[in-house]
Structures are given as structure tokens and as C-alpha cells.
Structure 1
């Protein structure tokens, strides 16, 4: 899920950002992305028309600084921010809830991936035991073991690539990777490693 602003909420939030200090357009878009953990990155087509509307309403002014257009809140804009402090608190709380839910989804994805890996390893162990009961010639056992070794290598590599890609993509988009998520991943990997050790010692 991605945090979104209603038209009125985004308007107020833009004013709030400018109340913190003058900003140019890109800085405003970056601030919106930062405040939502990278889960909401507005386009120029979303931000600039609203800034122009705020300027028309006399709530912000703009000036040119080199190649950048800098927006600054007016006294009327500050008065609106102050008058709607309660609305801003609600917007901030909603954004925080959205970011927490996204973090929960990431943790859930990691857990599901680990369950899938453990299930694959358990199935591979069962297959090995089933084949062992047929007592094939020793040469065949070595061949089958090498085949299964390649299969296990492929499973681990596929899992590593999948998790690495998911996590790197999440962080690249500005997502916040918490220590709790990494701790969950570490515990799950330890559990999987112990399961493999137990299966091999049977």
C-alpha cells in the first residue's frame, strides 16, 4: 500500500512544509518522499499546480534564485497552518500508520519466503530418505547426491537473490529498513540452517 493525500490534505501539508522554511520545488517533493519513508513520491505535475494555487490564494510567494524557483509561506499561510493544527496532526498520524503497515508487509514477505525455503528443504530431505530406502548402487547414490547438491545450491541462490532484490528495491525507493525486519530475517535463517543440519544428521 502507498500513502496518499486527499486534495485538501496535500494542500495543507505543502503549507506545513513551507512553514518550516523556504523550499524550491524539488526540495518539496523530496521532503514529501522523506516524510513517508519513500512510499509516496509526488510528481511535478502534482506539486506545482498546487503551489500555483496557493500563490493565487496569497498563502505563498515565489522568487527566482538562479535556476531555482523558491517558495515561501506568507503570514496568511502561517495563519492557516496554525488554525488547522489539529488537521495536520491527523495527517501525520495517518502517514505514520501507513508507513508502519508497509514495514509489516515487508516483514511478512520475509517470513513467507523463509517458510517456502524451509518447506523446499524439508521436501528435499524427504526425497533423499525415500531414495535411500531403494538402496541403489553406490555409484548411483553419489551421482544422485551430486544432483541434489546442485539443486540445494540453486534453491539457496534463488532465495538469496529474491530476498536481496526485494530488500534493495524497497530501500532504493526510500523505504525504511528497520532492525526488527533484519532481526526477523536473521532468526528465520538460523531456524532454516538448524532444520538443514537436523535433516542431514538423520
Structure 2
């Protein structure tokens, strides 16, 4: 699933300056702050953050000092001046972050719904195949054999769905993504709906 980008081009640079304007930070602290400010939907890598910090240092906007095993970054007067001068841009970035986080949450919720639709379709097809296989039984055919085949198909569909959805959710959380309670509420409701539909088809 391709997620909506959190920062537009150039916005991350200014946002890093604004974080340092709040106080000196080491690299990991900056990455954690970005994750916290975006509700866990954006967890940048060291390969993303450190080159930008080096660029800011080259521009004279930040300085760095080594504190034991940590490198601490601190904004300069020139950096503070840029943050102050671009206060309006920062407000726009903050508003954009709120929209991006909301969009990403919607995308995760939508992906769960799509997965539920797929499972519903697979199980409905299995139920139809079972009916088709059992009703017009020709001499020598055993409806129970067909039913067992369709049961196996249903088991496979459920197992594959569970494995794929679990992997998607775990991957999203591992990347620092937020998993809203409403997403899981939707998942539980959809599973209940599917179970009810299947039972209805079986009672037929």
C-alpha cells in the first residue's frame, strides 16, 4: 500500500529547523519527535535526516557538538531568523501534517475494508460453488466430496486473508504507523457481517 506523503518537497528542512528552535536535540531525538508529531505515520530513517542536518550545518543554520557517543544539533541565530521569517510557512506545514495524518488513517481503514470485501467475495463464491456442486449431482458423484473441496477452498481463503492482513498491519505498525481503534472496530464489524452472511447462505 502506497501511503500519502507526509512532507512536501522542502518542508522537512524547515520543520527540522523548527524542532531545533525548541531546543538542542540529538539525531535520534529528532527522528522520534517527527514520529510523535505525525501520530506515528512518519518515521524517517537516519539516511533521510542526517544529510539534511549536514546541509543545514553547511548553510550556517545549525551547529553540532559531540556529547559522548551522541551528536547534538543546535540552531544558530541565522536559523532562528529563518524560522521567524517563515512562521507563515510553518503554520501551513502544520496544517498539512494534520491533513496528511488524517488521509493516511483513512487509507489504512480503506485497505482493511478492501481486504474484507475480497474475503467476502471469496467466501460467497465458495458458497455458490458448493451449492452448484451439490445440487445437480450426477450418478456416481458424491456431493460430500464437492462440499469438502469447497470447505478446503474456504479454509485456504480465510488463512490467506488472515496472513496477508496480519502482515500488512504489523508492517504498518513496525514502520511507526498509527493503528487507530476505529480501524480495528471496522474490522471486527466487517468480520461479524461476513460470518452472518455466510451463515445465512448455508441456511439458504
TM range (shorter): 0.7 to 0.9
Q: CA deviation at 1:92?
A: 1.1
Matched, 1:47 2:52: no
Who is 1:122 aligned against? 124
C-alpha distance in structure 1 between counterparts of 2:155 and 2:102, whole Å: 35
Who is 2:183 aligned against? 181
Cα deviation code 1:128-169 (max 9, x no counterpart)? 222222245698122222222211111111111111111111
Q: TM-score, normalised by structure 1?
A: 0.86
Q: Gaps spanning 5+ residues in structure 2: where? A: none
Q: Gaps spanning 5+ residues in structure 1: where? A: none
Q: TM-score, normalised by structure 2?
A: 0.86
Q: How many residues align?
A: 201
User: What's the secondary structure of 1:177's corresponding residue?
Assistant: coil
Q: 1:177 to 1:42 in 2, by over 3 A?
A: closer
Q: CA deviation at 1:52?
A: 3.5
RMSD value, Cα: 2.3
Q: 1:46 to 1:114 in 2, by over 3 A?
A: closer
Q: CA deviation at 1:47?
A: 3.0
Cα deviation code 1:59-113 (max 9, x no counterpart)? 3332210121111223443343234322111101112212211211111111111
Q: CA deviation at 1:18?
A: 0.9
Who is 1:4 aligned against? 7
C-alpha distance in structure 2 between counterparts of 1:170 and 1:195, whole Å: 30
Who is 1:96 aligned against? 98
Q: 1:199 to 1:45 in 2, by over 3 A?
A: closer
Who is 1:20 aligned against? 22
More moved, 176-185 vs 45-54: 45-54
